[in-house]
Amino acid sequence: MDKWLSSIKEKVSVSQLETAGAIIHNIPLYIFIDTAVWHDHRVYEKNKSNPDVISKIHFPSIEKSDTAKYIFEFINFLRKRDHGNAIQTFSRIEDIQEHLRRQWSAYFQRLLGEQRRGVLRANETHNINEQLEAIKAALLASISSDGLRATAKGSIRFRSLVDLATSLGGAGVLKQDTALPWEDFFDHIKIDGIFEEADKKRASLIFVFKDKSYVVGRFLHRRLLSSLRQDWTDFFHLTAASRSAIVDAVLDAAEARGIYLKRDNSDALPLYELQQLDIYGNRIENEYAVRIPEPSDDDIPF
């Protein structure tokens, strides 16, 4: 593109410069070429390999003869693009209007179709969630013991909290008689910093210990920390016996479910950039770490 622009210098029109700008900025193009210009372009293509012949040809559709070559080569540039190269000829303004009307009509129909499909997917997701809630309610109702029912409910609600605390080596804190504030929990288990992947699409949280070992929470968003803070407070409103039963129930199911948090040696794997977070999931401005390795699927969960 830059080579083509440098070769034509001041020989381009405003329309050509606007088109080039649209291409550079990935703006969709609707290309319309006057039928007479398109006909002369075909004549040019058949004879351009013979300079003596082409220099003697007068192209009626081109007002300035010395610009014909640049106009036709610009057409070649457009039609030889890998994409966005559809060309429509016209002889009247009404031809352009009719073509655009058809194009936009088809475009809006596609948008409406995508919207309908999105609504259907949302309804399907809602129905699945409703079914899961009904199954959960039925299972809980089938438990006759009040104590077991409370444990089952707690296992469902506090599962993410127990998974996180356990994977960070702090399961014992959840069972102790005295409540430890959320703000003190990470110091207690010797966490040096919390990070999220700064340059990747999939969400992951990384908890780095003071000894530079770390735990990766794959597919976890930073908003999880904010929601777990409230869960932490509610969890410690329960009795120690209830909390212990909930932790044991979640851990019994953890092996079958699979622990998604991992720990490994910090010097064994490739490096990538991380954004530092506070304990509530807020990003700490201008705080990054770049020497934390990315775990592989071969790491052993604990």
- Tens digit of pLDDT for each residue in 81-124? 777 777 888 888 888 888 888 888 888 888 888 777 776 777 77
Count of C-beta atoms within a 10 Å radius of residue 115: 10
How many residues does this entry show for the chain? 302
- The pLDDT value recorded for residue 282 is 84
74 occurs within a structural domain: yes
Side-chain-side CA neighbours of residue 106 (13 Å): 5
Number of domains in the chain: 2
If asked whether residues 177 and 76 sit together in one domain, one would say no
79 occurs within a structural domain: yes
65 occurs within a structural domain: yes
If asked whether residues 275 and 164 sit together in one domain, one would say yes
Last-in-domain residue among 39, 63, 91: 91
Q: Which domain holds residue 66?
A: 2-91
Residue 301 carries which DSSP code? B
Question: Does pTM top 0.85 for this prediction?
Answer: no
Is pLDDT of 129 > 70? no
If asked whether residues 75 and 181 sit together in one domain, one would say no
If asked whether residues 167 and 288 sit together in one domain, one would say yes
- The pLDDT value recorded for residue 256 is 44
Of 25-29, 192-196, 283-287, minimum mean pLDDT range? 283-287
Radius of gyration from C-alpha coordinates of the chain:
33
How does pLDDT run across 212-243, given as a tens digit for each residue? 888 887 767 788 888 888 889 898 888 888 88
Q: Pick the residue with more confidence: 135 or 230?
A: 230
If asked whether residues 87 and 165 sit together in one domain, one would say no
- The pLDDT value recorded for residue 3 is 53
If asked whether residues 167 and 262 sit together in one domain, one would say yes
71 occurs within a structural domain: yes
**Helix, strand, coil in percent for the chain, rounding step 5:** 55, 15, 30
If asked whether residues 171 and 276 sit together in one domain, one would say yes
- The pLDDT value recorded for residue 286 is 60
- The pLDDT value recorded for residue 265 is 56
Is pLDDT of 39 > 60? yes
- The pLDDT value recorded for residue 284 is 82
Q: Are 188 and 168 in contact (CB under 8 A)?
A: no
CA-nearest of 213, 220, 214 to 196 is 220
133 occurs within a structural domain: no
Percent of the chain past pLDDT 70, that is, above it, reads: 72
CA-nearest of 124, 159, 152, 125 to 136 is 152
If asked whether residues 74 and 178 sit together in one domain, one would say no
Last-in-domain residue among 36, 57, 91: 91
136 occurs within a structural domain: no
123 occurs within a structural domain: no
Strands (E), the chain: 31-34, 87-90, 191-197, 204-209, 214-218, 261-264, 271-277, 283-293
32 occurs within a structural domain: yes
